[in-house]
Structure formats: structure tokens, C-alpha cells
């Protein structure tokens, strides 16, 4: 009964606080909205970059060259073994297939190729490496392992391109993490500062509450609820903003990136999961800001 | 109810505000604390409800040593002490009822029950018809009665009043003092800090006089009143 009455009192006090200083609360909500909108946009951009990397990474193929004249059964055994090791598709390319492909890719020399007496191209196995194993280290290890197999003469895997892609991804992730930390810190500081204004506006009430026997927790709870509500509202507004942005700019972006992204479809900017993350993130930021502000005030 | 043993209070760089205070107030007693401005009356009251910390000495309130009390325990001590301030300390944007209910909110008393108790207390101080009014619409005497209602609504065992009539005209002063006397008759220990000598002679209660932070006299009501008349 007492806890319920205290909760009811805290909600009344929260409502009173919002009514008392609406401008201060609006500033906090706008700050949170901007921060969360930016974070959401960054998440969307990250998903797009990941999609681009996956798309470009999909071009990375490991080609395992086999000995000329290797019997087809042995080549097939090798292909199966490699498929198992890699965990992705392994395609056996016979010398005939290779010659046909070369003819298709370079039509200007097709005539020359047809006139060859012997096919100079060796048989090979082409490996499609799954996304998680496209790091330079994993690919290097795979190449070394494949080279040691009997019947294998050489392995090619575009080391430089993979290393460059990985470096780009690393830099983007690191940059994103640093930007996120800066936005987080700035938001918590601004929310704490605005809530401190709200607390300052109600210092008289707090003083009287404490004089009549209010505990620190009793004083703290309404402000924490204010922070929580601000965060949730900020998260909801940021989601609405992202939805509006993706509706207006999404089709243009998809068109722009169609030739780069796998399947030609850019990932959705706003997903239900992102909405949940924004609401949760907003609530956490609001809570952190309010706890920081009240703690500072109560200590003073 | 209250015992003070060799209590000192000083702020760094200033002369002591209270020096070697020894005082005993019995349960159910009514005591005037008097003396000129700056004598240390308010500080002494603040020490009792832990708004200030004693530099030295021991203070027992209801058997509890408040000089060594943990900060987290202070709210629970204050719930047994009603405090009336000269400057009222009312929330201007809350109604009279909400202001009085504040003391019950912190205790977690359900709203309906609190409302009933608040209305009863407002009736006792003669303000039941002003429950929905904002404090600034009230006279000084009425505001002080609201403060008194807030201080008494959770039935404290001790009531501290710091110059409760300092801002009031003589008629309102008597209204408040009669209420304080009534509270005391019902069993609450009452400490009133005042420099108004007419109150001392009119109400004839035990009077402790402070000067420059020292207790210079501690007399029963008749003796103190006689001295006031003589003076």
C-alpha cells in the first residue's frame, strides 16, 4: 500500500515537474531526439556499409589450381575436401570450362583460342568463401592449407583487395564507435544539465520534502522518471524522424546504390529492431542523465 | 525528549555560534527559547532536526544521538519532528491541501487516507474552507497555520517553531500561539524560538535565554514572566 502510494506520489511529482518547466524538458527531448536520430542514421549507414562490403567481398574468390592431367575423380575428391574445409561452395572448373569462360570474357581472342591445338589452361577449383572467413588472415591460412594438398599447384585469392576491404571496414567501425561514444557523452551531459535546471527550478520543493522527512530515493524517483520519459519520447521521435527520412530519401539512395549493393536492394534504414534499440537507448540515456543530475544535486 | 550535553557549534573562521550548551527538555514540555537576533536560537533548533551538525557534544532526541546519526537515518528522525518556519516554506504553486499532504506523501500514506487526514488537520487549524486555495492568496497568519498543519499532520512527538509569529500582527500571533499551546496540551513537546517578550509573559512557560551562543538563564514560566514584567 505504502509503495503504491509512493509510486503514485512519484508520478504526480513527475507530471508536476514537466508542467512546471516544459521548456527545459523540451530541450532535453530535442537533444535526445537529435542524438538518437544521428545514432539511428549511423546504424543505417553501418548496415549499408556492411552490405556494400559483403557485396564487394562476394567478389573475393579463392582459385585453387590443380595439376594438369589430374584425373577427374581425383579433382572431384579435392573439390569435396575443399568444400568441407571452407564451408562454402566449391566449383570444379575443368580446362574445357575454363577455356570456354575465357572465350566468353574475351570475345576478341575467341578465334585464337579455338585455333589452339592443346588447351593450356589447368583444371581448378573455385571457392566461394563464407562472409565470416573473408579476413586476410583466414584467407591466407586457407591458401597455405590448400597449397599443401596433393594435386594442387597454386592458389590465388586477391590478397590485396581483401586486405583493403578489411582495413576500410575496420576504420569505419572504429570511427563509428568513437562517434557513438562522443554522441553518448554529449547527450548524457546535455540531458544531465537540462535536468539539473529542472531540479534547480524545484529546489524549494526538494528542500521542503527533505525537511518533512523525504529520503533521497523519494526525491530522486520523480526526476529519474522524468529522464526515462524524456528518453522514451526522444527514441520515439527519432524513430519517426528516421521513418520520414527513409521514406523521402530511401528510394533515391536505393537507386544510387543499386549497382553496388548485392541484389541491388539497399538495406532498410528503419527496422523494428532499430526502433526497439532507439527506445531502449533513449531510456538508458535519459536515466543516466537524470541519475547524474540528481546525484550531483543531492550531494551539493 | 531532548538532551544536550556540552554542545558547541562553530563555522570555520567565525566565532562560535553555540558554546557549551547543556539542556534537557522533558516529554510533553512547552519551552520558549529566547534571546536577541544572532544569539543562536535557530542554530540550536537546526541541530535538533539535523539541518546542522554539532561541532562538539552530544544531542539526544527521543533517546537517539543525533550528533552521530547516519545521513540515511535523518529522514526517519525528521518524520517525528514537526518544524514551523518564520518564512513559512510553502510551495506557491500547490494548493493548501497539497502543501499539507506533502508530509504524508513522503510517508507513503495512500492519497484518499492522506486527504482525509489533511482535511481533519485543516479543520483543526481553522482552514478547512481554504483547502483548494493557493498559499499566496492567504494572509500571513493563515499561511502560518498551513505550515502548522503540515508540521502536525503526521502527528510528530516534537514540534520546533522558529519565530513562528515573527511576520504576524498581534491578533494572528495569538491565534498561532493558541494553536501551539493546544498541540502541547495534546501531548506534543513544543520548542518555540522567539524574541517576542510579550509572548513569554502571556504564556508563562519555561524559558531558556541565549546570548552570544551561551545559555544565560533557564527559568520556569512564572519566574520568566515576572522578570519580563519587571524589565
Q: Provide φ and ψ at A132, rounded to 5°.
A: -65, -15
Count how many domains chain A has. 2
User: For residue A163, what are the CA distances in angstroms to A50, A139, A166, A167, A262?
Assistant: 15, 10, 5, 6, 20
Same domain, A172 and A261: yes
Q: Give the rounded distance of the alpha carbon of B217 from its chain centre.
A: 20
Residue of B nearest to A2 (CA): B108
Quote the CA–CA distance of B126 and A287 in Å, as a whole number: 44
Same domain, A20 and A65: no
pLDDT value for A57:
57
**Across the interface, do A3 and B108 touch by the CB < 8 Å criterion?**
yes
Same domain, A35 and A121: no
**Across the interface, do B89 and A207 touch by the CB < 8 Å criterion?**
yes
Residues of B in contact with A1 (CB under 8 A): 108, 110
Same domain, A186 and A126: no
Q: Which of B78, B109, B114 sits opposite A211 (nearest CB)?
A: B78
Residue A299 pLDDT exceeds 90: no
- Which CATH number does the domain housing residue A113 bear? 3.30.70.3040
**pLDDT winner (highest mean) among A104-118, A174-188, A244-258, B85-99:** B85-99
**pLDDT winner (highest mean) among B78-82, B107-111, B227-231:** B78-82
Residues of B in contact with A20 (CB under 8 A): 93
Q: What is the mean pLDDT of residues A115-119?
A: 78
| Geometric angle at alpha carbon B221, from B216 and B223, rounded to 5° | 70
Q: What is the mean pLDDT of residues A246-271?
A: 68
Same domain, A273 and A186: yes
Q: Which of A3, A9, A204 sits opposite B105 (nearest CB)?
A: A9
Same domain, A262 and A148: no
Same domain, A32 and A150: no
pLDDT value for A54:
64
Tens of pLDDT, residues B171-215: 888 888 888 898 899 899 999 999 888 888 888 889 999 999 999
**Across the interface, do A6 and B78 touch by the CB < 8 Å criterion?**
no
pLDDT value for A241:
92
Residue that is last in its domain, among A96, A131, A157: A157
Same domain, A145 and A23: no
Which comes out higher in pLDDT, residue A21 or A57? A21
Tell me the pLDDT band of B41, cut-offs 50, 70 and 90: very high
pLDDT value for B225:
66
Residue B231 pLDDT exceeds 60: no
Q: State the cell numbers at B68.
A: 552521530
Residues of B in contact with A213 (CB under 8 A): 75-79, 103, 106-107, 154
For helices B111-124 and B140-152, what crossing angle results, to 10°?
130
Tell me the pLDDT band of A300, cut-offs 50, 70 and 90: low
Residues of A in contact with B106 (CB under 8 A): 209, 212-215, 218
**pLDDT winner (highest mean) among A33-47, A117-131, A217-231:** A217-231
Quote the CA–CA distance of A235 and A247 in Å, as a whole number: 18
Tens of pLDDT, residues B102-152: 899 888 888 889 999 999 999 988 888 999 999 999 988 889 889 989 998
Same domain, A139 and A250: no
Residue that is last in its domain, among A132, A157, A182: A157
Is the Cβ–Cβ distance between B59 and B3 less than 8 Å? yes
Q: Which residues contact A3 (CB under 8 A, 6 or more apart)?
A: B108
Residue of B nearest to A210 (CA): B75
Q: What is the mean pLDDT of residues B44-62?
A: 91
Tell me the pLDDT band of B30, cut-offs 50, 70 and 90: very high
Tens of pLDDT, residues A153-180: 988 877 777 677 777 777 877 887 887 7
Residue that is last in its domain, among A131, A157, A183: A157
**Across the interface, do A208 and B91 touch by the CB < 8 Å criterion?**
yes
Same domain, A180 and A225: yes
**Across the interface, do B89 and A204 touch by the CB < 8 Å criterion?**
yes
Same domain, A168 and A267: yes
Q: Which domain holds residue A130?
A: 61-157
**Across the interface, do A9 and B72 touch by the CB < 8 Å criterion?**
no
Shortest Cα distance, chain B CAs vs residue A167, angstroms: 54
Same domain, A119 and A23: no
Q: Is A208 on the interface with B (CB under 8 A)?
A: yes
Tell me the pLDDT band of A107, cut-offs 50, 70 and 90: confident
Percent of all residues in chain B with a pLDDT value above 70, rounded to a whole number: 95
pLDDT value for A96:
85
Q: Which of B105, B143, B160 to substitute to test the interface with A, most A CBs within 10 Å? A: B105
Residues of B in contact with A2 (CB under 8 A): 107-109
User: What's the 3-state SS for B198-214?
Assistant: HHHHHHCCEEEEEECCE
Give B159's strand partners: B82, B190
Amino acid at each position: 500500500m505504502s509503495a503504491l502510494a509512493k509510486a503514485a506520489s512519484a508520478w504526480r511529482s513527475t507530471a508536476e515537474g514537466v508542467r512546471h518547466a516544459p521548456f527545459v524538458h523540451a530541450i532535453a527531448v530535442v537533444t535526445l531526439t537529435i542524438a538518437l536520430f544521428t545514432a539511428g542514421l549511423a546504424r543505417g549507414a553501418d548496415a549499408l556499409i556492411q552490405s556494400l562490403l559483403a557485396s564487394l567481398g562476394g567478389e573475393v574468390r579463392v582459385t585453387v589450381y590443380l595439376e594438369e592431367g589430374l584425373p577427374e575423380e581425383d579433382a572431384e575428391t579435392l573439390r569435396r575436401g575443399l568444400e568441407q574445409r571452407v564451408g562454402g561452395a566449391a566449383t570444379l572448373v575443368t580446362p574445357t570450362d575454363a577455356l570456354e569462360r575465357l572465350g566468353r570474357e574475351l570475345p576478341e581472342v575467341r578465334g585464337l583460342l579455338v585455333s589452339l591445338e592443346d588447351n593450356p589452361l589447368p583444371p581448378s577449383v573455385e571457392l566461394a568463401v563464407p562472409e565470416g572467413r573473408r579476413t586476410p588472415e583466414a584467407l591466407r591460412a586457407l591458401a597455405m592449407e590448400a597449397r599443401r594438398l596433393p594435386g594442387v599447384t597454386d592458389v590465388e585469392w586477391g590478397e590485396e583487395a581483401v586486405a583493403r576491404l578489411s582495413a576500410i571496414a575496420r576504420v569505419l567501425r572504429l570511427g563509428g564507435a568513437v562517434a557513438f561514444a562522443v554522441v553518448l557523452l554529449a547527450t548524457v551531459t546535455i540531458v544531465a544539465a537540462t535536468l539539473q535546471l529542472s531540479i534547480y527550478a524545484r529546489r524549494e520543493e526538494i528542500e521542503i520534502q527533505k525537511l518533512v522527512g523525504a529520503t533521497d530515493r523519494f526525491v530522486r524517483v520523480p526526476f529519474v522518471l522524468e529522464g526515462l520519459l524524456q528518453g522514451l519520447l526522444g527514441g520515439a521521435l527519432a524513430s519517426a524522424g528516421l521513418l520520414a527520412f527513409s521514406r523521402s530519401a530511401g528510394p533515391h539512395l536505393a537507386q544510387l546504390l543499386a549497382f553496388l549493393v548485392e541484389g541491388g536492394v539497399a538495406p532498410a534504414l528503419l527496422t523494428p529492431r532499430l526502433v526497439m534499440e532507439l527506445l531502449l537507448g533513449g531510456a538508458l540515456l535519459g536515466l543516466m542523465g537524470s541519475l547524474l543530475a540528481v546525484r550531483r544535486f543531492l550531494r551539493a | 525528549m531532548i538532551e544536550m550535553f556540552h554542545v558547541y557549534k562553530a563555522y570555520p573562521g567565525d566565532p562560535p555560534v553555540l558554546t557549551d550548551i547543556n539542556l534537557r527538555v522533558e516529554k510533553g514540555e512547552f519551552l520558549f527559547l529566547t534571546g536577541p537576533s544572532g544569539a543562536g536560537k535557530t542554530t540550536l533548533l537546526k541541530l535538533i532536526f539535523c539541518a546542522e551538525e554539532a561541532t562538539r557534544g552530544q544531542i539526544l532526541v527521543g533517546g537517539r544521538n543525533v550528533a552521530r546519526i547516519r545521513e540515511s537515518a535523518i529522514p526517519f528522525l525528521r518524520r517525528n519532528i514537526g518544524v514551523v518556519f518564520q518564512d513559512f516554506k510553502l510551495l506557491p504553486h500547490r494548493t493548501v491541501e497539497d502543501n499539507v499532504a506533502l508530509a504524508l506523501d513522503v510517508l507513503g500514506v495512500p492519497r484518499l487516507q492522506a486527504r482525509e487526514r489533511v482535511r481533519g488537520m485543516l479543520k483543526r487549524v481553522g482552514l478547512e474552507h481554504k483547502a483548494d486555495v493557493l498559499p499566496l492568496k492567504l494572509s500571513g497568519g493563515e499561511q502560518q497555520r498551513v505550515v502548522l498543519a503540515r508540521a502536525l499532520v503526521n502527528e510528530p512527538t516534537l514540534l520546533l517553531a522558529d519565530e513562528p509569529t515573527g511576520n504576524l500582527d498581534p491578533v494572528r500571533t495569538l491565534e498561532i500561539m493558541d494553536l501551539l499551546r493546544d498541540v502541547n496540551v495534546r501531548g506534543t513537546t513544543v520548542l518555540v524560538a522567539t524574541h517576542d517578550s510579550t509572548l513569554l509573559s502571556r504564556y508563562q512557560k519555561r524559558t531558556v535565554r541565549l546570548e552570544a551562543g551561551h545559555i544565560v538563564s533557564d527559568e520556569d514560566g512564572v519566574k520568566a514572566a515576572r522578570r519580563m514584567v519587571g524589565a
